[in-house]
Chain A
Amino acid sequence: MKRSDLTEFAVEEEGFKLKIRRGVNGLPLVSTTRGSTTPFLPGAESTGQTASPVAPSAKSAATPGTATEVEEEGVIYVKSPMVGTFYGSPSPESKAFVEKGAKVTETTVVCIIEAMKIMNEIQAELKGTVLEILVENGQPVEYGQRLYKVKQG
């Protein structure tokens, strides 16, 4: 941006949006939104000596339910009860367990988390309608990671 006369620059790809605008003092204003494709392991892309603390708490997708975020009204989350790999359907060929808009109850199996070669069926343990699926098939997940955004009730 510095080398050009651009005052504004934006790029949008699947799951990733970046917008840079020249600020008042010539410094860039950066805003990014990360979609569910971001690997949750924060250091995966970090290079260089001074590792900027890309702490898990800085990434909303991976935050294990700390109080630092403002919760939306009536929105709850299905969180991962274990460490492993997320699968949204019982097998690669089958349909997903739940899609956007699906109604779930406490005992609805929403996904499988594979840990140490064992496939664990994960129940919703809450009641409501699925608003968004926050993780991708085959994605590694940590304890407490948000998997499904659900409208309570």
Chain B
Amino acid sequence: MIQKVLIANRGEIALRIVRACRELGIKTLAVYSEADVQSLHVQLADEAICIGGPKSSDSYLRADRILSAAEIADVDAIHPGYGFLSENAKFAEQCESCNIKFIGPKSKSIKMMGDKAVAKDTVKKAGVPTVPGSDGPVESEGEAVKIARKIGYPVIIKAVAGGGGRGMRIAHNDVSFAKEYHVARNEAEKAFGNGSVYIEKYIERPRHIEFQILADSHGKVIHLGERDCSIQRRHQKLIEESPSPFLNADLRKRMGKAAVKAATAAEYENAGTIEFLVDAKGNYYFIEMNTRIQVEHPVTEECTGIDLIKQQLHVANGEKLEFDQGDITFDKHAIECRINAEDPAHNFAPSPGTIGLYYAPGGHGVRIDSHVYSGYTIPPYYDSMIGKLVCFGSSRKVALEHAYRALSEYLIRGIKTTIPLHKAIMSDPVFIQGKATTAYMEDFLSRTPADLFI
């Protein structure tokens, strides 16, 4: 029985985990950096241990200090959240050898799906459609060019150790390929410590549609529907919604089955997500699996009514999932806007600093997942996301009405945020008609005057 959980993360997800644990009667231990002393989850957790200086590399990424804290505080389990060590197979392995339950999949599933080329190969063998490309990393530029020509331009060069939208370069012909190939390798080496790359066909104007997976340790694997995450800027998601305005019942069924097949091939346990690209004709291709809980999990929670973090804790406890695939219903339409401390009117320049007045919207169909409060100082050492606004209703139209109204009420003074950007998107005809693909943001920004974001 898990009685105490160490939360190896910060910000809004750490708060989310504290909340779920509290409701389940599980004690919480927050580990934090010196920059997060005033953080909300640190205040609300039952116990807290400082594990390092402000930089992530000196704190949240220090597996040794986290495990040390777990040992002296006698915890049963560690929740890694997302980012940081959540997809670090070595850390999961260390937890396993210390007899501390890692709230997530087995370390071998993380390892399998963490190598993007191995992941693709694994699901391909299970009969899941994948993007045409090199079967694994390319050994040389010569081989890479041959494959590019065989697949047909445009192609995308991806880092094997990448993920989360980083380490990718597009080439439209032989000439640009020669250049992008080397740039991609160098970037990958610097960012991930591994310069290996693989090649894929670049699908133009695809939709990014991912499926939420939940699996227990007794062999049951189900999906909880999709999230359409096509609204992205530089491969970073801004808005996610469920159901996808593009999918019909048949395509949803087929993709859902494929997602379950992929997770099963990875011998998956706990919560995870299978990402697909979908072209205009409804052809879908596996791109990667995220072996952790995701930022946008509340979209699925509001759509299905299922508390995913609590389910993670139940699964980690060894319990069987209490529902089957047929029990999952999609009652609401939900949409999430990621609120970042960035200035959309000035090229999204980061805007850390102290929040003066903070007033969060409420009312019917409005949920806020945020760790900030009036007087809180946003530290400059971490990512710029300060909260998530999740609106839901009986239809997409109602959800969007809630979202537009909530964004109009939302006050965060003292710093710049992306609230005005989201408001502008909510009133944009292309978005309202559900026609957005991953090409949307670039197009939207080019035709929308920047002073609309002030």
Question: Which of B34-42, B153-161, B320-328 lies on the face that meets chain A?
Answer: B34-42
A83 touches B48 (CB 8 A): no
Complex CA gap A35/B29 in Å reads: 23
CB-nearest residue of chain A to B66: A83
Interface of B is mostly: mixed
Tell me which residues across on chain A come within 8 A of B34, comparing CB atoms: 64-66, 143-144
Question: Which of B68-76, B104-112, B261-269 lies on the face that meets chain A?
Answer: B68-76
* A90 close to B (CB within 8 Å): no
Shortest CB–CB separation between residue B81 and chain A, in angstroms? 19
* A55 close to B (CB within 8 Å): yes
Complex CA gap A82/B62 in Å reads: 10
Residues 37-83 (chain A) with a chain B CB within 8 angstroms: 40-44, 46, 51, 53, 55-57, 62-66, 82-83
Chain B interface size, as a band, is 20 to 34
Complex CA gap A56/B69 in Å reads: 15
Given A56-B50, A143-B52, A143-B65: A83 and B37 within 8 A (CB)?
Answer: no
Complex CA gap A63/B43 in Å reads: 14
* B409 close to A (CB within 8 Å): no
Partner of B71, one of A53, A65, A116: A116
Shortest CB–CB separation between residue A125 and chain B, in angstroms? 15
Complex CA gap A143/B72 in Å reads: 13
B47 touches A55 (CB 8 A): no
B65 touches A83 (CB 8 A): yes
Shortest CB–CB separation between residue B96 and chain A, in angstroms? 15
Chain A interface size, as a band, is 20 to 34
Tell me which residues across on chain A come within 8 A of B49, comparing CB atoms: 40-41, 83, 142-143
A51 touches B72 (CB 8 A): no
* A115 close to B (CB within 8 Å): yes
B72 touches A55 (CB 8 A): no
B47 touches A83 (CB 8 A): no
* A85 close to B (CB within 8 Å): yes
A55 touches B51 (CB 8 A): no
* A88 close to B (CB within 8 Å): no
Tell me which residues across on chain B come within 8 A of A140, comparing CB atoms: 72-73
* A84 close to B (CB within 8 Å): yes
A115 touches B47 (CB 8 A): no
Partner of A84, one of B37, B48, B72: B72
B37 touches A64 (CB 8 A): yes
Partner of A145, one of B27, B50, B59, B98: B50
Partner of B47, one of A44, A57, A63, A85: A44
A43 touches B51 (CB 8 A): no
Tell me which residues across on chain A come within 8 A of B69, comparing CB atoms: 83, 142
B37 touches A66 (CB 8 A): yes
A41 touches B47 (CB 8 A): yes
A55 touches B42 (CB 8 A): yes
Complex CA gap A51/B27 in Å reads: 12
CB-nearest residue of chain A to B34: A64
* B46 close to A (CB within 8 Å): yes
Complex CA gap A143/B34 in Å reads: 9
Given A41-B73, A143-B52: A57 and B64 within 8 A (CB)?
Answer: no
Partner of A55, one of B29, B43, B52, B59: B43
Can you spell out 21 A-B residue pairs with CB atoms less than 8 angstroms apart? Answer: A41-B47, A43-B27, A44-B47, A55-B37, A55-B38, A55-B42, A55-B43, A55-B48, A56-B50, A64-B37, A66-B34, A66-B37, A83-B50, A83-B68, A85-B72, A115-B71, A116-B71, A140-B73, A142-B49, A143-B52, A145-B50
Beyond known contacts A115-B65, A143-B51, A143-B53: 12 more, CB 8 A cutoff: A41-B47, A41-B48, A41-B73, A51-B44, A53-B43, A63-B37, A82-B64, A82-B65, A83-B49, A115-B68, A116-B71, A142-B49
